[in-house]
């Protein structure tokens, strides 16, 4: 390829597609190189195939990253900016619980197809099945080499390769290696937003049970999350597990991590509530006492775990341990689930090596690094996709001004 492009975008995921679209709309000659035969693979599987593309509560507090970086990204592309952007692409949106935003169709294809259609309308080129293996900075431009043969010349390069999470849908270490080639530091990636493996095998009795809980990880500092918890044959999953997984992942380097589960998070004074319930319903046997309060399977496990006698009225037993366990059930995390089940990676390119306003490299002028390739990870609920859009948008604005 003898053409000199204004911008070569490596990766056709969330940040790469939006960045390419904005650069092309700004009159730049754009080429997108994607190693997979199909673009937008991670968009298509996000949100269980429904694409939770942003969250009304997006803020620096939702991320594990330098708050100044997130503030800058959100200044370029806020929640309202994101919502209007995709509405203008033709995507009808709907808001669900906890501020999560989805396409009204309930299908991630609504987002991916709209981005691809808009990119095609700009005349930007998208080459799929072309894996970038080497990038060299010359005095005048970048030389981008692909495994399939073509060499590309570009004035600017955007690394939007994503992380090694979800290897079954394009996740690799390739982006980290390209960043290293150009002088960047890569902090070791770790799987996060992943299920937690528990030591307590008896909890497998609850496999398939879903509860609204509050989890507390005994890390430094302590990590808390509230939401749905899903019990599995290996441990727990769901937002209340995923949103403490970053802190747990880091702490596991020193050994197993203690976590407490509060099954009555909606109560301000659960001790008083349970004591009042005992006064009112104390003639009931334990299983009947817990009926209507917690899931039947959880009640059965609680009775066994705390040694309550099944045929004796609760008012004739010491209920203190059962009450304490219900609001602080102790479990031990021994590991996170493997990369193929991790939604996101912690670690990546060191953010202090990029310009927070433009996402341009401070080490290699003309190189921009966006999305999950950076050492940024957010809570579940649309926050990670929002950062991908925002970083791609910010990089495009900087490139357009050149």
Taking only the tens place, the pLDDT of each residue in 195-254 is: 999 999 999 999 999 999 999 999 999 999 999 999 999 999 999 999 999 999 999 999
What pLDDT, on the 0 to 100 scale, is given for residue 170?
83
- Strand-by-strand arrangement of the 54-55 sheet: 54-55, 100-103, 93-95
CA distances from 335 to 116, 236, 243, 345 (A): 38, 11, 15, 15
Domains of the chain: 4-190+339-400 (3.50.50.60), 195-337 (no CATH)
CA distances from 3 to 31, 153, 155, 205 (A): 10, 7, 11, 62
Assess whether pLDDT exceeds 90 at residue 285. yes
Mean pLDDT on 268-291: 97
Mean pLDDT on 33-52: 95
Mean pLDDT on 23-50: 96
- Distance from C-alpha of 251 to C-alpha of 246, rounded to nearest angstrom: 9
What pLDDT, on the 0 to 100 scale, is given for residue 1?
61
Mean pLDDT on 298-319: 97
Question: Band of the pLDDT at 76, cuts 50, 70, 90?
Answer: very high
Q: Name residue 258's beta-bridge partners.
A: 332
What pLDDT, on the 0 to 100 scale, is given for residue 149?
80
Please indicate, yes or no, whether the overall pTM of this predicted structure exceeds 0.85.
yes
Assess whether pLDDT exceeds 80 at residue 375. yes
Question: Band of the pLDDT at 169, cuts 50, 70, 90?
Answer: confident
What pLDDT, on the 0 to 100 scale, is given for residue 3?
84
What pLDDT, on the 0 to 100 scale, is given for residue 372?
96
DSSP 131: -
- Distance from C-alpha of 265 to C-alpha of 300, rounded to nearest angstrom: 20
Mean pLDDT on 82-94: 98
DSSP 34-70: ESSSSS-HHHHHHHHHT---EETT-SGGGEES-HHHH
What pLDDT, on the 0 to 100 scale, is given for residue 88?
98
- More reliable by pLDDT, 385 or 148: 385
Mean pLDDT on 79-105: 97
Token representation of residue 54? 């942003």
| 3-state percent breakdown (helix, strand, coil) of the chain, nearest 5 | 40, 25, 35
Mean pLDDT on 170-190: 95
Question: In sequence order, which residues have a C-beta less than 8 Å from that of residue 146 and are 6 or more positions away?
Answer: 33, 130, 131, 132, 133, 152
What pLDDT, on the 0 to 100 scale, is given for residue 150?
79
SS3 167: helix
- Distance from C-alpha of 113 to C-alpha of 111, rounded to nearest angstrom: 6
- Summary mean pLDDT of the chain: 96
Assess whether pLDDT exceeds 80 at residue 190. yes
- Distance from C-alpha of 366 to C-alpha of 147, rounded to nearest angstrom: 23
Q: For residue 158, report the phi and psi dihedrals to the nearest 5 degrees.
A: -115, 115
């Amino acid at each position: 390829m003898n053409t000199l492009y204004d911008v070569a975008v490596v990766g056709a995921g969330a940040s790469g597609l939006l960045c390419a679209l904005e650069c092309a709309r700004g009159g730049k000659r754009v080429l997108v190189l994607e190693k997979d035969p199909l673009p937008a693979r991670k968009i298509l599987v996000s949100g269980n195939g429904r694409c939770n593309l942003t969250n009304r509560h997006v803020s620096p507090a939702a991320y594990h990253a330098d708050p100044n970086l997130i503030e800058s990204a959100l200044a370029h592309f806020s929640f309202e900016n994101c919502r209007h952007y995709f509405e203008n692409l033709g995507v009808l949106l709907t808001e669900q619980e906890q501020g999560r935003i989805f396409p009204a169709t309930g299908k991630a294809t609504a987002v991916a197809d709209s981005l691809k259609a808009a990119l095609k309308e700009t005349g930007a080129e998208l080459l799929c099945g072309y894996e970038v293996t080497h990038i060299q900075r010359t005095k005048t431009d970048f030389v981008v080499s692909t495994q399939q043969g073509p060499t590309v010349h570009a004035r600017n390069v955007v690394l939007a390769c994503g992380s090694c999470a979800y290897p079954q849908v394009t996740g690799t270490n390739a982006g980290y290696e390209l960043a290293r080639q150009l002088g960047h530091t890569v902090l070791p990636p770790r799987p996060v937003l992943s299920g937690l493996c528990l030591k307590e095998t008896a909890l497998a009795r609850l496999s398939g049970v879903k509860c609204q809980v509050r989890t507390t990880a005994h890390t430094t500092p302590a990590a808390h999350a509230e939401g749905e918890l899903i019990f599995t044959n290996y441990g727990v999953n769901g937002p209340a597990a995923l949103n403490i997984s970053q802190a747990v992942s880091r702490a596991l380097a020193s050994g197993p991590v203690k976590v407490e589960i509060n099954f009555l998070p909606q109560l301000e004074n659960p001790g008083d509530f349970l004591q009042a319930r005992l006064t009112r319903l104390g003639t009931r046997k334990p299983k009947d006492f817990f009926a209507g309060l917690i899931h039947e399977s959880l009640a059965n496990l609680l009775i066994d775990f705390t040694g309550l006698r099944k045929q004796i009225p609760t008012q004739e037993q010491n209920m203190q341990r059962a009450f304490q366990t219900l609001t602080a059930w102790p479990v031990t995390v021994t590991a996170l689930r493997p990369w193929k089940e991790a939604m996101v990676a912690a670690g990546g390119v060191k953010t202090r090596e990029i310009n927070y306003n433009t996402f341009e490299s401070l080490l290699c002028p003309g190189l921009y690094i966006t999305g999950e390739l950076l050492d940024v990870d957010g809570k579940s609920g649309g926050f990670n996709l929002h950062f991908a859009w925002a970083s791609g948008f910010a990089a495009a604005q900087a490139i357009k001004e050149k």
